[in-house]
Amino acid sequence: MSAIIASLSFFTDIRFILLCGLGSVAGLFVGSIPGLSVSMATALLVSITYTWSTHDALATVMGVYVVGVFSGALSAILLNIPGAPSSVVTTLDGYPLAKRGEAFKALKYATVYSFVGSVFGLVALALLAQPITSIALKFQPMDYFLLALFGLATVGGLTTDSFSKGLISAVFGLFFAMIGMDAVLGTPRLTFGITNLNAGINTVPALVGLFGFAEVLSVIFDGHMDAEVNGIVKQVVKMKDILKHFWHSLYYSLLGTVVGALPGAGGPVAAFLAYSQAKTIVKNPSRPFGEGAVEGIVASESSNNACIGGALIPMLTLAVPGDAVTAIILSVFYVHGLQPGPMFLATSADSFHAILAGGFIGCVFLLLLGLLVAPHLSKIIAVPKTILMPIVTLLCVIGAYACNNRLFDVGLMFFFGILGFLMRSRGYSVAPMTLGIVLGNMMDSNFRRAVSLAVSADNVVVALFGRPITMVLLVCTLVSIITNIPAVKRAWANRKSGKAK
Amino acid sequence: MEKKEKRSLLHTASFQDSIFVGLCAAGLLAYSLYHHYFDKNTSDWKTSPYLFPTLISVFGLLLTVSLVMDALQELRSGEAVKKDTGSKRNLVGVLVLIGASLAYYFLLPILHFIPATIIFLAALFLYLGERKWWKIALLSVIAAVAIYLLFGVALNVRLP
């Protein structure tokens, strides 16, 4: 609770509020226009905010993050195209409502419950960060390695249909992280004589390429350059009616926070889970689910926004990001010389408070923009992609160049963009690769440290895995890997269907 | 437009991917072992910079086996080969964008930001279907100048 009180001091900082507002407006546009994503915007922001102060950068990034996740609902409701993957479930009831001429009502529900979910997640972050940090302080190098491995295995299992493909994406991410000067001995590794690679693959151009340029290539490949948009007719929607679902929304928010804290699960999983729960617990929905039930929008929006706070918990306390956006936010931290992890709350408490304040101010902007501006955005979100895509490509070039002022990074961005496009077209998710790139060096140094410490002990295996925390993490990692192996999955499914018969 | 056809293991996407992943993993393993044993700076495995790359390559080889098993499963289940008739035209669009981006990359140091950007944007607007020349000219000039003013001047971001 003291963290929330400390974060209130930022509410009087006009510059902080204005930058958060700027980020929120950017998040509103980026999240609502299909083809632009919060991940892409955050990756671009890393390079733009490179020269800014840490608090300015965090204010802007949090504004983009909080409002960007919500605004995916706008295009989900008005176009039947989710602006963000976490808004997929909102299309199920939001679009049918819009088709009935009730888009305004759908937007109002989405705004209010996105606000509730976001605030819930951030409060959970404020309350849980300290206890989790206390546990994390007991971590040793092998624990960090296993935690990162657990994250990669979970992301690999959840982001694509095939577990092998998810892990391959992660392995390639780890490979790219290995390129450059080795942190322990200072030996150039996997650089193949290219001097520009001695400093390693900069995460910013890699992420801008994987999320920005790859998205542009995918949009052009899919060929859907225009979209039909539903109009909005203003109608009276009483706040009393909207707030009827408040208690249910707290339950969906709790689900969202827990799912968000699991590495890799993120908004889409939370929204689907909450939606299926809503179908069970809501006995008399306003309309049947899938035909315009506001209860479906409540479940989807409160849970996917609650993921924001949830995903930040492991990122800040353990330096293990919960999703692609937090992986990118982690690189914002590194760019500004901050070191998330168990010592983060002790050494950078002001940055933690800035994140909380940025999140809460972002929530206020979410409410204001969602209720006042979003209903007027219907024409803007239908901007032809023939105009949008070349400009996004240009922004990717600027974003890749700005962090180091090297044209080589622009080339890297194009390389990762093409790679990301090829991966997507063959069914590989780029999220595990992102995590691999961000976590690779941490895994490498901790693994070698753990091995170095263990070989001098009497029993190497006990020294590596003998501690309770290590054993728990090892079991979690093994369970995550084994239960995702296709043969095990098939055997489990066969057993289940056999029992059902 | 989906069409079912008989195919061999080589035609499954997973098997094709497994060849690529297997080659990459084997290459990384060979590279790591060679450098570990022949580089002057490395002595034992516990501190070797090639320990983790070796581990990654072994993991990559295991995943190659997993992909082959996926491919066999695909064959057994007789999953349809997806043939998208529209993708050929779109692939040309992708190649044009990559080509234009590379041309822009090489033009930037020669022409500098604003002229190179105007040419790049105009070419893409034209290719993506905009036919009114005045609209193309206006959009490319406004976008290039606006981005220069916003990023280069207002936000103090270094532009290429």
The complex's ipTM? 0.89
Give B41's contacts in chain A (Cβ within 8 Å): 185, 187
Interatomic CA distance for residues B48 and B40, integer angstroms: 11
Q: Is B8 on the interface with A (CB under 8 A)?
A: no
Across A104-123, average pLDDT: 92
**Which of B57, B101, B135 to substitute to test the interface with A, most A CBs within 10 Å?**
B101
Q: Check A486 against B60: CB less than 8 A apart.
A: no
- A31: left (phi > 0), else alpha (psi -120 to 50), else beta? alpha
Residues A55 and A354 sit within 8 Å (Cβ to Cβ): yes
Residue of A nearest to B24 (CA): A172
Interatomic CA distance for residues A24 and A62, integer angstroms: 8
pLDDT at residue number B79: 60
Least Cα distance to A63 among A110, A112, A16, A27 occurs for A27
Q: Is B78 on the interface with A (CB under 8 A)?
A: no
Size of interface A-B (CB pairs under 8 A): 162
Choose the closest CB to B129 out of A184, A386, A410: A386
Choose the closest CB to A184 out of B49, B90, B101: B49
At which residue do the structure tokens 């100048």 appear? B145
pLDDT at residue number B2: 45
What are the residue boundaries of the structural domains of chain B, listed by start? 1-83, 86-160
Residues B139 and B121 sit within 8 Å (Cβ to Cβ): yes
pLDDT in tens, B69-115: 888 887 877 664 554 444 555 788 899 999 999 999 999 989 889 99
Residue of A nearest to B160 (CA): A401
For residue B52, give how far its alpha carbon lies from the nearest alpha carbon of chain A (Å): 6
Q: Is B39 on the interface with A (CB under 8 A)?
A: yes
Residue of B nearest to A192 (CA): B31
Interatomic CA distance for residues A155 and A10, integer angstroms: 34
Q: Which residues of chain B, if any, have pLDDT below 70?
A: 1-7, 41-43, 78-89, 155
Q: Check B17 against A387: CB less than 8 A apart.
A: no
Query: DSSP secondary-structure letter at B129?
Result: T
**Which of A224, A389, A394, A443 to substitute to test the interface with B, most B CBs within 10 Å?**
A394
pLDDT at residue number A499: 67
pLDDT in tens, A223-253: 766 655 566 667 777 888 888 889 999 999 9
Across A50-72, average pLDDT: 87
Q: Is B92 on the interface with A (CB under 8 A)?
A: no
A159 vs B73 pLDDT, higher one: B73
- Strand, coil or helix: A284: coil
Choose the closest CB to A448 out of B24, B52, B129: B52
Instruction: Enumerate the β-bridge partners of residue A188.
Output: A181
